[in-house]
């Protein structure tokens, strides 16, 4: 494997990586797509959660670069910006106020601030809590404020079933096909 962070690599180095076999041998040879390529492939079909992940370099230009790509593809109505960093969401709101934002909240006590009224101020439209931190009361409170709840990262069938029973608005998963199967069984 390759060691290091994506932010320290050039695009051609990233494109030389083989990323598919990590998930399954049938994906052997798959490359890591750019955001442009993701938008070209699924942009008009799906709502795309764009996590602003510059956690090691929060002062960089990531938010403005992503905003430029969103504008170039006219994706303002098809994306949600999410981040664990409120500062990223504030920058995104200044650049593209029409794009909804979602604060990601860490597990347990560490995510309590993001799940509080503070989190509502930086992301009034969505909250992305860790899936074990939600319950019917919490979801009802958020829905009463017209805020959608998308939980992360839900992969086990039983957990997916429980989240759908709780009527979360969306799940972030590493296995979207399995999630769709579970949802269609309901």
Residue 172's pLDDT band (cuts 50, 70, 90): very high
Q: Tens digits of per-residue pLDDT, 136-156?
A: 999 999 999 999 999 999 999
Q: Which tokens in the block code for residue 167?
A: 């009527």
pLDDT of amino acid 127:
95
Strands (E), 37-78: 48-51
Give the model's pLDDT for residue 98. 97
Whether 12 shows a pLDDT value over 90: the answer reads: yes
CB 75, CB 67: distance < 8 Å: no
Q: What is the pLDDT of residues 15-68, one digit of tens each?
A: 999 988 988 899 999 999 999 999 999 988 999 999 999 988 888 999 999 999
Q: Which domains, from first to last, does the chain contain?
A: 46-185 (3.20.20.190)
**Would residue 29 be called left, alpha or beta, if left means φ above 0 and alpha means ψ between -120 and 50 degrees?**
left
């Amino acid at each position: 494997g390759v060691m290091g962070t994506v932010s320290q690599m050039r695009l051609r180095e990233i494109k030389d990586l083989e990323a598919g076999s990590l998930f399954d041998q049938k994906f052997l040879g798959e490359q890591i797509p750019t955001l442009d390529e993701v938008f070209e492939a699924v942009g008009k079909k799906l709502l795309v959660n764009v996590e602003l992940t510059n956690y090691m370099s929060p002062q960089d230009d990531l938010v403005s670069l992503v905003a430029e790509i969103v504008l170039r593809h006219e994706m303002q109505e098809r994306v949600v910006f999410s981040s664990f960093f409120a500062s990223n969401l504030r920058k995104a709101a200044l650049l593209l106020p029409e794009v909804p934002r979602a604060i990601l909240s860490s597990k347990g006590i560490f995510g309590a601030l993001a799940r509080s009224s503070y989190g509502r101020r930086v992301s009034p439209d969505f909250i992305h809590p860790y899936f074990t931190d939600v319950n019917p009361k919490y979801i009802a409170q958020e829905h009463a404020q017209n805020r959608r709840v998308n939980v992360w990262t839900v992969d086990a069938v039983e957990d997916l079933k429980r989240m759908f029973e709780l009527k979360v608005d969306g799940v972030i998963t590493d296995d979207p096909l399995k999630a769709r199967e579970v949802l269609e069984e309901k």
